[in-house]
Amino acid sequence: MRKIGPRGVWCATDGMNASAAASFVQRVEGLGYSAIWLPEVFGRDPFAHIAFLATEASSILFATGIANIHHRLPGVMKQASNTIAEQTDGRFILGLGVSHHTVVEGLRGLSYDKPLTTMRRYLQAMDASPFMAVGPSEPAPRVLAALGPKMLALAAENADGAHPYWTTPEHTAEARAILGPEKLLCVEQKVVLSTDPADARATAIGALGIYADLPNYRNNWLRLGYTNEQIDARDDAFIDAVVAWGPAQQIEARLQAHIDAGADHVCIQALTPNNPFQPDERALEELA
């Protein structure tokens, strides 16, 4: 398994055309980040996109953060993962997740039932699926979008690790305890490079958007000790816990807190002040 460095970049590139996305990846690679994490919601197919981007970069790892298991049969997911891993000479990490009821059932019209059981069966079916092409020298690492203790336990049992999203260093410590010492723990951390509290928190609140009402995230924040009232009110203590903001030195402390809590890798999602869906390249430069 190709070693992943301590820092990567999490970024949706759906707002960029293909050429701009390739240039962005090249800049991220040039800054020394070890991986770039690309999501899947309603935009590009992440595997096709990574297949293109990997030809435009030479060393950076690519990861799906995450590929939705409801969009592909297990054998198809295995085909895609093995194809990308082989064609990039191992520069690929497969991040898988169950997504959310509102996305899968509400917008896609698919069944969203018993997410934990569904993921367990999906992984078993992936492992049992045949693949009869030239494959990678070793399978791509498989990490699960895991927040709660049961999904983290499944990641420890039947994956190479976990990719938590919208979490805190306190959650990172809990995840490490469940995963054990050997599994990959790749945590996402949103950051705003701004010393203006009003602008920084407004940017964070803009990024929070619909996430605040998705049960997977809300339940995890409740487990961490925040209340429904704090989440609904966008309380400063809650916002400051899930989005790191301030000067680079202050953000660095948050990133290090994840590492100290047991993370192997922090996926930095740099939010441009007052434009949270635009990656802040200045922040990425300062945090590289």
What pLDDT sits at residue 138? 94
State the Cα–Cα distance between residues 162 and 183, nearest whole angstrom: 8
pTM: 0.97
Q: Is 246 left (phi over 0), alpha (psi -120 to 50) or beta?
A: left
What tokens appear for 105 in the block? 């059932």
Q: Cα–Cα distance between 85 and 54 in angstroms, integer? A: 10
Beta bridge partners of 143: 95, 161
Output the CATH code of domain 7-287: 3.20.20.30
Q: Please say whether the beta carbons of 270 and 287 come within 8 A.
A: yes
Give residue 204's Cα distance to chain centre.
17
Instruction: Write down the pLDDT at residue 85.
Output: 98
Beta-carbon contacts of 88 under 8 Å, excluding residues fewer than 6 positions away, are 50, 54, 62
Please give the average pLDDT of every successive group of 10 residues along the chain, which has 288 residues: 91 97 98 98 95 98 98 97 98 96 84 95 98 96 98 98 98 98 98 98 96 96 98 98 98 98 98 95 98
The Cα 3–Cα 243 span in angstroms is 27
Q: Could you state, in order of their start, the residue ranges of all structural domains in the chain?
A: 7-287
Q: For residue 265, which of 156, 183, 170, 208 has the smallest C-alpha distance?
A: 183
With residue 96 as reference, give the H or E element that holds it.
strand 92-97
The helix or strand, by DSSP H or E, that contains position 34, with its residue range, turns out to be none
Structure tokens at 91: 């520069």
The candidate with the shortest Cα–Cα distance to 122, out of 137, 138, 142, is: 142
- Kindly list the distances between the CA atom of residue 69 and the CA atoms of 73, 116, 118, in Å, as whole numbers in the listed order: 7, 12, 9
